[in-house]
Structure 1
């Protein structure tokens, strides 16, 4: 039987290793032209997925023909058998800052195009608004904005 990470990676397109136990790929849940899906294998073998355009994990695994349970190693699929209670990932400020940095870069690129006098399509304007919303949400999540 394949490991969860092998199972997920084998179903993705344009997979690129970005670090130890980290990859990027095209998100299968939307019409992705540039890789926006971050994939990470946690120390306990579970697979973590993050689409930077906003797709939910359930949408991603469904598009892969998998279920959420397929993101976990066999020994972690039924937590009730292990008396561990609900799995909760510790909050990682680095990931929040990486997300804010990514959204700030998106905003900077769109604003630079506007400053150059480029015609901005509605999709880019919507993406700029989305970047602002995501930065605001990340700041609220870490307690930075009331």
Structure 2
């Protein structure tokens, strides 16, 4: 079986777009300022065997995606920046919990971290393209069944 990364990335982008919170969703980490409004970007962070989740004939994988939410630091009122960002984050966390298999594209979203770090998000600040953003970076761990054949 081959990793269908395009389909998986598209499914994650579709979750963000379907939430209605984002002005734009990129399938890559932006190299320039992503713009105004609430934005999201999705890219691959890490891949490796899902320890304890593979059989004797094939290796299942833990594919961790990075989903980063961006909002400009210059917007007003400043007190609304974190609540708006957290509302969008909450919608995505609910979507990942509710669509546990990304419409049967993966075995599961590793919500509780059985095979590594769990679904989580970390707040921060980022300057890119000369603009400052408040960000929430989500680690989205996905388990993909029987990805690599084991041959003696």
Same fold (TM > 0.5): no
- Bigger strand fraction: 2
- State which structure, 1 or 2, has the greater radius of gyration over its C-alpha atoms: 1
TM-score w.r.t. structure 1 length? 0.34
TM-score w.r.t. structure 2 length? 0.33
Relative contact order (alpha carbons < 8 A, sep ≥ 6): 1 or 2 greater?
A: 2
